[in-house]
Structure 1
Amino acid sequence: MERKLYEASMSGDVTTLMELLEEDPVLLNRVTTSFEFENPLGIAAMCGHVEFAVRILRRKPELATQADQKGLRPLHLAAQGYNVSMVKVLIEENPDVCSLTDQNGRTPLHLAAMRDGTEIMKILIQKQPKAIQMLSEYRSETILHLCVKHNCLDALKLLVDELRKQHINKESIYLISEDNKESISVNSKDGDGNTILHLAVARRNIMMIKYLLNSDTGVEQNAINNKGFTAMDVLIKSDQRELKDMETQDILREAGVLQSDFIQQLVGSHHDDQKPHGRPKYEISETIQKYKFDAKYDAWLKENKNTLMVVSSLIATMAFQGALNPPGGVWQETKELPTVRPFSLTYPSPSPPPRPPNDASDIVYAGSAVMSHEHVYAYLAYMIFISLGFCASMSVILLLLSGFRFSRKLVGRFFVRLLIAVLWSAVTFMTIAYLHALQAFMPTRGWGLETHDYQNTEVVVSIISEVFAFALLGWIGLLGLIIFVHIIRSTLWLLVHIIPSTLWLRRKLRILKKRDGES
């Protein structure tokens, strides 16, 4: 009979269950007192058979609190799944089960959080809000630690919001658990002294680290564990190196997370002969703010250097290819060509020169550019501007690889902006070279025009030259607008930062001189 009941609970066969109970009314009583077979209600809860569980609870409600060999109740098993209806049925029968723990000290809420089951968590919290405060017996972990360990970001966000609601004083969520042992917080520590930030960094969970540092969670950025490590120490001093380490370190540095050695330098050494006094808190806060500013500056400098290197390399490659492979290609062999009227769309002559004799010829050499023979002036302008663009981009690459480091932020920012201006000129040179190359290849034949029809040809050339002139003026206007905007930004920055600092320094100097005079 017990074997049939076990098979019925696995399949959720309600008909078989009712037949078995009619044959043996005390079947469920024997199952309750026997250790040979598992709890049929727990099996049904694990498999999600809601109707089967309802029929059992009507006959034997005590099965809702019966634990298996691992200390798991039916609600524990249901909380690990995603069947919300099953959880509601079990809670309505006995809400006190929400506070019962398994052999590891975990409540159903803990298990639901480890599966990122936010809907089930909301139901459990509504029935038993104090279950959030219960600690797991394994390393005294809070439910927040379990969320981080099992990469459950949605569950962590839900719990942080719920902790805010439970605390009368909103700021009490930000207190460390040692100061408020009856209530957990985002700064609570496990048995090793690790906060949830320590665990997130140890697992290189980028999304969770960003949430803890960039949102209004109130996490203590420089908390120290039992080994004396901050979250930055956990990353840097880890034996395992991963691809995410650099990105994680940038995030921590930008948020102001420090190493423990640096913090000890701020607060003063505790091994002096005299009583440790340390620095005032406001000085430590100012130093940490300066550290954050330096981290943001380093990130800004690194990002701009990478961008400048990529753009300058691309421009240098284009210019190099354009110089070695000019538009129109090169002559493949040395030969003589009949001398024709040198025609250039860039600089049209006002009147056609006399045609040369038919027996005159020019010699073209293998490897020389075809464009240099057909369009001399356009070719010269093209090579000049493309060479300027190449030299400008190569100079940017050389300066970036020079390894200059600037201790002053103002000099470093000026250096980066100078390189940006050089790249502006390189882009402008490449644009002008493109226009000259395009002018040289505009067809004058194919529109019913012959080369000896100089009057019609010059009309077409004049129209094309005006179009390219307008394009060049438009480009120069856009460049001028960008320069004007940057001048305005620089002026405003000077007014906000440099001038007030100068006035403050002058005022300080006057006060010091006055004090010296009085003394």
Structure 2
Amino acid sequence: MDARLIQAAQIGSIEDLHELLRENPLILHTVNLFSIGNPLHIASASGHDGFVMEITRLKPEFTKELNRDGFNPMHMAAANGHLEVVRELLKVDRGLSCLEGREKKTPLHYAAIKGRVDEIIEMLMSSPECIGHVTIQGETALHLAIKNSKVEAARVLVDWVREMKNESVLNLKDEQGNTVIELLLGWGSTHSSLEVNAINQSGLTALDLLQIFPSKAGDLEIAEILQRNGARRARDLTASQMPTIEYQNQFSNIPTTPERPQSHPRNLLEYFKFKKGRDSPSEARTVLLLVASLVATSTFQMGLSPPGGTWQDNYVPDQNKATSTDEAHVAGTSILATSDRVSFLLFALFNSIGFVVSFHD
């Protein structure tokens, strides 16, 4: 590459570029014949957005070329935090955020490694699908942000995953088999700012929230990871394990009233009543299904074997014996129905209602 073209790109001089073009109109067309990079790489790394805009107007194909280190101009702009250059390059091709270089790393990967939050947001707005791209080591941008302790970048990426409802990204594993949850917990073991038993304003831990608000997939694996790292339900935490300072400060202005004995009937009713925030919907659902199953089983069984049993034979009273008080009956019919029809009808009615209601929830 002409030394003067290199210098023009380094200082971002559009005038020098035009002067070179007047001298040699083909100078940009011969760059790739003699160089392992192009002036757009240099200008992008230096953050000269005006020069970048002019070069991309003249040679837009420069945006996709890789230099000898496996970087395209977008890689260099994103890694170095040149937001305006990133914007100019995206005007040429919105897909540049996902363009792979060495080790299949995209510009989004390098922005995550360096913690370039503004550049991350700009690229995700342009190409949301980039968040699922993985390197040759199976790492997403979120993996790389966590591994490089870029907390703000990781937060932005997690928020974006939630906004796009693309939680499957959180379950992707790198070549060591680590999900981002495992990396976060591993990172937290050496960074005291991450507490797996931290309690929110509702008095719930991460494990509580996972069970109260289940997602479609990955809950069991995440729960196991949390528990391996000491996560507990809020109700299972001892006084020494619970971060009481933050919890008490959040509720210090709430007036307290003496508790009544738990044996009081009104307290028993309150105790067994479902309360949002205290009880897990998934656990309540499990209990209801269990109760419904028991009711269905018992009512069905009672229908097959009513109280008093069933007659085992057929009987027709002898009409010639005036003293006979036995009722006629047929084998398999209820003895109670023969001796007390009203009681049997009441039993059959309520048993049938219980059986039918057990199927409705």
Write out aligned runs for 1:264-303 (5 A): 289=233, 292-300=234-242
Q: Write the distance in 1 (CA, Å) between the matches of 2:24 and 2:18.
A: 10
Corresponding position of 1:22: 22
Corresponding position of 2:96: 97
Corresponding position of 2:259: 492
Write out aligned runs for 1:475-490 (5 A): none
Corresponding position of 2:315: none
CA drift of 1:161 comes to 2.4
Q: 1:230 to 1:298 in 2, by over 3 A?
A: same
Q: Which runs of 4+ in 1 moved over 6 A?
A: 215-222, 496-499
Q: Which runs of 5+ in 2 are unaligned?
A: 246-254, 273-361
Q: Write the distance in 2 (CA, Å) between the matches of 1:106 and 1:133.
A: 12
State the one-letter code of the partner of 2:237: A
Q: Which digits, 9 at most, give the CA deviation of each residue in 1:88-121, with x for residues without a partner? A: 1111012222221111112112222222222222
Q: Which digits, 9 at most, give the CA deviation of each residue in 1:174-213, with x for residues without a partner? A: xxxxxxxxxx332332222212232223232344566997
CA drift of 1:123 comes to 1.7
CA contact (8 A) 2:37 2:66 kept: no
Give aligned pairs, total.
249
Corresponding position of 1:197: 181
**TM-score, normalising length: structure 2:** 0.59
CA drift of 1:303 comes to 7.2
Q: 1:101 to 1:494 in 2, by over 3 A?
A: farther
State the one-letter code of the partner of 1:97: L
CA contact (8 A) 2:87 2:122 kept: yes
Residue number among 145, 150, 157 corresponding to 2:143 in the alignment: 145
2:169 counterpart of 1:185: yes
Other structure's SS at 1:160 match: helix
Q: Write the distance in 2 (CA, Å) between the matches of 1:497 and 1:199.
A: 48
Q: Write the distance in 2 (CA, Å) between the matches of 1:11 and 1:497.
A: 82
CA contact (8 A) 1:65 1:97 kept: yes
Q: 1:62 to 1:293 in 2, by over 3 A?
A: same
CA contact (8 A) 1:195 1:223 kept: no
Q: Which digits, 9 at most, give the CA deviation of each residue in 1:41-86, with x for residues without a partner? A: 0111111011111221222111111111232110111111222211
CA contact (8 A) 1:99 1:128 kept: yes
Q: Write the distance in 2 (CA, Å) between the matches of 1:89 and 1:496.
A: 71
Q: Which runs of 5+ in 1 are unaligned?
A: 174-183, 234-251, 257-288, 305-485, 505-519
Q: Write the distance in 2 (CA, Å) between the matches of 1:497 and 1:16.
A: 90
Corresponding position of 2:33: 33
Write out aligned runs for 1:306-325 (5 A): none
CA contact (8 A) 2:21 2:27 kept: yes
CA drift of 1:149 comes to 0.7
Corresponding position of 1:118: 117
State the one-letter code of the partner of 1:2: D
CA contact (8 A) 1:9 1:41 kept: yes
Q: 1:160 to 1:201 in 2, by over 3 A?
A: closer
Q: 1:294 to 1:2 in 2, by over 3 A?
A: same
State the one-letter code of the partner of 1:89: E
CA contact (8 A) 1:48 1:86 kept: yes
Which structure has the larger Rg over C-alpha atoms? 1
Q: 1:52 to 1:189 in 2, by over 3 A?
A: same
CA drift of 1:298 comes to 3.6
Corresponding position of 2:3: 3
CA drift of 1:214 comes to 4.6
Q: 1:142 to 1:493 in 2, by over 3 A?
A: farther
Other structure's SS at 2:29 match: helix
CA drift of 1:20 comes to 1.5
Residue number among 152, 159, 162 corresponding to 1:161 in the alignment: 159
Corresponding position of 1:79: 78
CA drift of 1:144 comes to 1.6
CA contact (8 A) 2:36 2:68 kept: no
Richer in helix (by share): 1
State the one-letter code of the partner of 1:27: I
Corresponding position of 1:130: 129
Q: Write the distance in 2 (CA, Å) between the matches of 1:493 and 1:82.
A: 61
State the one-letter code of the partner of 1:142: T
Other structure's SS at 1:27 match: coil
CA contact (8 A) 2:74 2:96 kept: yes
Other structure's SS at 2:175 match: coil
Other structure's SS at 2:170 match: coil
Corresponding position of 2:41: 42
Write out aligned runs for 1:401-416 (5 A): none
State the one-letter code of the partner of 1:5: L
**TM-score, normalising length: structure 1:** 0.42
CA contact (8 A) 1:200 1:209 kept: no
Instruction: For CA contacts below 8 A with separation 6 or more, give which structure has more relative contact order.
Output: 2
Q: Write the distance in 2 (CA, Å) between the matches of 1:298 and 1:154.
A: 31
